Structure 1
Amino acid sequence: MSALRGRDPVVAAPERLTRPGRLSPSDVLRLGLLGVRTRRLRATLSALGISIGIATLVLVTGIPASSQRALNDQLSALGTNMLRGVPQPGQDPPVVLPDAADRMAARIGPVTATGQVANTHTLVHRSDLTDPHDGLGLTVLASGNGLLAAVNGRVQAGKFLDASTDRLPTAVLGHEAAARLGVTGLAPGGPRPQILVGTEWFTVIGILDPLPLAPDLDRSVLVGWEAAKKILGFDGHPTVVYVKAREDAIEAVASVLPATLNPQLPGLVQVSRPSDALAAKRATDSAFSSLFLGLAGVALLVGGIGVANTMYISVLERRAEIGLRRALGASRGQVRGQFLTESVVLSLLGGVAGTGIGVLATAGYAVYEGWRPVIPLAVLGAGVGGAVVIGMVAGVYPSVRAARLTPTEALATA
């Protein structure tokens, strides 16, 4: 009888009834969404709190980043990435650079553009009726085709020198040179004015805008490199080499540029140091980075406190529900999972909404100020990912508190 009683299913049944059923991840998610669906106003207000925090995070990083980009563009226009190499003056015999100095400098890895000019020591005149000894204070320079890109120059009218005009008697005038020579503009399709360079007539094919990075070129008449050698007797050695490189490598380029331009006598080549604006730009970048971290931390902290407070109040409001679930066999782990999932869902919804609001607000403000909108991708990831992490952290204590309530305690205090 004892053996049969040991196999009696009535005896084993109570042990099986005390074991709570296992919930699948989808069941836990449905339980977590229960509070969101049944208390929509409270859920909306809770998600609104975290969305404001995340939107603030995107705003306080996106707007300064857009402003920083606009400031960096202005500083870059001051030549933060440009170097200028010239032969050491006062040497006997004079130091000369090789004809292909700009192409040699272009082989340096971080270099993005090069150009070169050379003084032809030729006078320029409006016509053959003016004083032959009056050059109007202008300089006639032989120019490489890549000069315009190297000095951030722009053509005001016409076009710049290129391979098709390199050997022809054509000229491009600097902004001040055009005014002194009386060339006020170039009519599209109309006849091009001519100027007398030395004893030869050159056709003006372009006028440049003012060049803040190379103001000496504003008072210059630029002619093709090969035309200068063939027509003006130019010896082919550049007197100034302009180099534009990546800002993060500008010091490294400056250190190797003398040996590149004059491998035999690198000590006789002067290289201008990077613009002081580069130091200001780097200091600005550092200051903005610190500001981003500080403001982002505050925004996330405020959002996290809001979610934690909301979930704590939710536990107090739903003690009857917790007690009933525990009385029906729900384990503490299942109760913890329910409230932790609800916290993460609320934070995720708020994070997605806040990120979208922040992006739209940042773009609108940047366009209003005339800036290019800049929103770091890391901020977008931090907006959604940070919201999930905040929901997990903020929901830990409320979920643990809910799980610790016994059925009798929860029902008695409900």
Structure 2
Amino acid sequence: MTTPATPPSAPDPQPDVEPLPRASLRPARLAFPDVLALGLIGVRTRKARTALSALGISLGVATMIVVTAIPASSQQALLAQLSAMGTDTLKVQPPPDQKPPVLLPADADAMAARIGPVTGVSAVANTHAEVHRSDRSDPADYAGLSVLASRDNLLPLLDAHVASGRFLDRSTDRFPTAVLGSVAATRLGFTRLAPGGPAPQIYVGHRWFSVIGVLAPTPLSPDIDRSVLVGWEPARTELGFDGRPTVLYVKAEEDQIEAVADVLPATVYPELPGVVTVSRPSDALTAKRKTKNTFSALFLGLAAVALLVGGVGIANTMVISVLERRREIGLRRALGASRGQVRLQFLTESVVLSALGGLAGTATGLLATLAYTAAHGWPVALPLGVLAGGLLSTLAIGALAGLYPAVRASRLSPTEALATG
């Protein structure tokens, strides 16, 4: 008995498949850590190329720092030498041979200090007293030495220094004490004072004065070298000094030195300003200003050339990187990477290379500058604005230089990139 064949069962109906929304087909947006990791792929996998690429960039940055910082340090040393020549100091005095003599007011230094750009004023006055080694020495032996009453703040105004002992101050104003200029000390026989020993005595205006200090040579004021300086008050009480200054030393802001010189005569001697002479600013001030302007222009030119060299090196490195990595680009595009992600990858790599080269170049330039300035004894002048601006400019140039290679890489189709890789 035959069993009737069972008719085949009908296939199950297929469920309806809804198409995916168009928005879900868009590639995922990469977070910053992911972007950075992609940019570091080429840096990590091609260490030799990365080192050589960063070396080229670092040499450009180091060159920029060296050609900026070393001339700036040299300029700083030169400007310090020019400043020591009194570029910001004026000398005010009446004509020395005027008959009858012109006497400045007793408060002339205080009047000059009221001028706005003035930063310091000091004064000396000729007491017309004689100085001798002792009360038994021949007066002719010490002819040509002057006895000057001095304010306590004279040394900073003349950029002078004490070679031995100390200078006049408030503690010595009540006692007959003296400080010798370098030439006066040699002629009087006291070139150096013994520390802790008794102070030598000199005979000034028939009074005994104790020598408490010896000055180093003062190039700004040779008259001080040939003088014996005594305190303002002891000069009044011991030598009959009338308290009127003979010479004022005025220190002012350099950019206002001419304006200060114009108003000083009327300020210190308003009755007859025409008879007061003010020394013109030192010729070194003009040289200092020209030197500053010349070096500034040189810095800008050299820094621009160094940055240009660094930018060309970055562009060349990134173009070669795209040519070398076409197969990688094609594989990433075939796996779904968008053109924007490829562009971002190469831009990130360019910026990372710039940062590595910039940091290495900055460190190298700083070390070279420190070594060179230390060898020459110059002050270290590191233009922080140039350092920061150079590093930021290098990053910006790196991004611009990597823009074209990044766009070129993103335009490669997967098949073209895999075929030519």
The interval holding the TM-score normalised by the smaller chain is: over 0.9
Normalising by structure 2, report the TM-score. 0.92
CA distance in 2, matches of 1:10, 1:328: 24
- Does 2:221 correspond to 1:200? no
Superposition pairs for residues 218-237 of structure 1, below 5 Å?
A: 218-237=225-244
Partner SS, residue 164 of structure 1: helix
Structure 1 length as normaliser, TM-score? 0.93
Give the secondary structure class of the aligned counterpart of 1:186.
coil
Aligned partner letter, 1:126: R
**How many angstroms apart in 2 are the aligned matches of 1:37 and 1:255?**
68
**Superposed counterparts of 1:360-371, under 5 Å:** 360-371=367-378
1:297 maps to 2:314: no
Higher-Rg member (1/2) = 2
> Which of 50, 65, 69 pairs up with 1:62?
69
5 Å-filtered alignment, 1:10-409, equals 10=17, 12-13=19-20, 15-16=22-23, 18-88=25-95, 93-132=100-139, 135-409=142-416
CA distance in 2, matches of 1:248, 1:333: 56
- Deviation string 1:252-309 (CA, Å, 9 cap, x unpaired) is 3223322332244333322111111111111111111111111111111111111110
Instruction: Indicate if the aligned counterparts of 1:167 and 1:225 stay in contact, CA closer than 8 A.
Output: no
How far off is 1:360 after superposition?
0.9
Distance in 1 between residues matched to 2:354 and 2:207, nearest whole Å: 77
Deviations 1:189-224 (A, max 9, x none): 212221111211111111111000001110111111
- For 2:321, the aligned partner's letter is S
Deviates more, 1:53-62 or 1:24-33: 24-33
1:230 partner letter = T
For residue 403 of structure 1, report the CA deviation from its aligned partner: 1.5
Name the CA distance, whole Å, in 1 between partners of 2:370 and 2:406: 38
SS in 1 for 2:65: helix
Which amino acid in 1 is paired with 2:189?
A: G
- CA contact 2:162–2:215 (8 Å) conserved in 1: yes
Q: Structure 1 residue 247: deviation in Å?
A: 2.2
Structure 2: gaps spanning 5 or more residues: 1-14
Q: Identity over aligned residues, as a percent?
A: 66
User: Kindly tell me: are residues 165 and 316 of structure 1, through their superposed partners in 2, closer, same or farther at Cα, counting changes over 3 Å?
Assistant: same
Deviations 1:79-112 (A, max 9, x none): 1111111124565653322222223323333333
Q: Is the 8 A contact 2:142 2:187 kept in 1?
A: no
Runs of 5+ consecutive residues of structure 1 not aligned to the other structure? 1-7
Deviation at 1:167, TM superposition (A): 3.3
Task: Give the aligned partner of residue 3 of structure 1.
Answer: none
> How many Å separate the matches in 2 of 1:25 and 1:403?
19
Output the CA distance in 2 between the equivalents of 1:201 and 1:9: 123
Higher mean C-alpha deviation, range 242-251 or range 215-224: 242-251
Contact 1:125 1:136 in 2 (8 A): no
Give the drift of 1:68. 1.1
SS in 2 for 1:13: coil
Q: CA deviation at 1:113?
A: 2.6
What CA distance in whole angstroms lies between the structure 1 residues aligned with 2:399 and 2:385?
20
Q: In structure 2, how many angstroms separate the alpha carbons of the residues matched to 1:320 and 1:259?
A: 85
Given that residues 106 and 244 in structure 2 are in contact (C-alpha distance below 8 angstroms), is that contact kept between their aligned partners in structure 1?
yes
Distance 1:315 1:68 in 2: 45
Partner residue in 2 for 1:5: none
